[in-house]
Amino acid sequence: MELDETDKKLLFFLQEDCKQTTKELSGKLGLSVTAIYERVKKLENAGVISKYVALLDKSKVKKNFIVLCHVKLSQHKKEFVLQFEKEVMDLQEVTECFHVSGDYDYILKIGVKDIEDYRSFMLTKLTTLQHIASTHSSFMISEVKNTTAIVL
């Protein structure tokens, strides 16, 4: 789908605050409410907008101890990779998982309450997954930038 400048501006405003009404968006973009509604529906139907979410304050829900855990698999057989990916999907503490190149196979972003909570997660959940050869954990000191917005 080819996005025009109005689509890009609309997506910018929705990424900023998706609870804006079509009336508010029409005022910002100089289009009718109906035109905004139709554009949003078109973007949703095309899969450009995949879902709407609420972003939580990690400290207020006691999940502000953020860990980047690098995982190396014991082997790179297709079934091992697929099994690991399936199992990691069930770990609620893992908010993001990336299959990467380099010394490690995956990078997991994990949110827990504190170091004790992370230790418990490692011992009772992550290290019980099959085919993990090693892990390396880095702990967030401070959050410099955190955005979900994609600039078009």
The vertex-59 CA angle with 54 and 64, nearest 5°, equals 100
Structure-derived torsion over alpha carbons of residues 141, 106, 47, 43, reported in degrees to the nearest 10: 30
Q: Are residues 40 and 66 in the same domain?
A: no
Q: How far is CA 115 from the centre of its chain?
A: 22
pLDDT in tens, 105-135: 999 999 999 999 999 999 999 999 999 999 9
pLDDT in tens, 63-85: 999 999 999 999 999 999 999 99
Q: What is the pTM of this model?
A: 0.89
Alpha-carbon gap, residue 88 to 76, rounded angstroms: 16
35: left (phi over 0), alpha (psi -120 to 50) or beta: alpha
Within-domain flag for 148: no
DSSP-derived 3-state class of residue 145: coil
Q: Are residues 68 and 125 in the same domain?
A: yes
Q: Are residues 26 and 82 in the same domain?
A: no
Q: Are residues 35 and 96 in the same domain?
A: no
| Domain count of the fold of the chain | 2
Within-domain flag for 28: yes
Q: Are residues 70 and 17 in the same domain?
A: no
Cα–Cα distance list, 141 to 63, 76, 93, 136 (Å): 14, 32, 18, 16
Range of the domain at 130: 56-137
112 within 8 A of 63, measured Cβ to Cβ: yes
75 within 8 A of 141, measured Cβ to Cβ: no
Please give the helix or strand (H or E) that residue 112 lies within, else none.
strand 106-112
Q: Are residues 36 and 69 in the same domain?
A: no
CATH number at residue 27: 1.10.10.10
pLDDT in tens, 28-65: 999 999 999 999 999 999 999 999 999 999 999 999 99
74 within 8 A of 132, measured Cβ to Cβ: yes
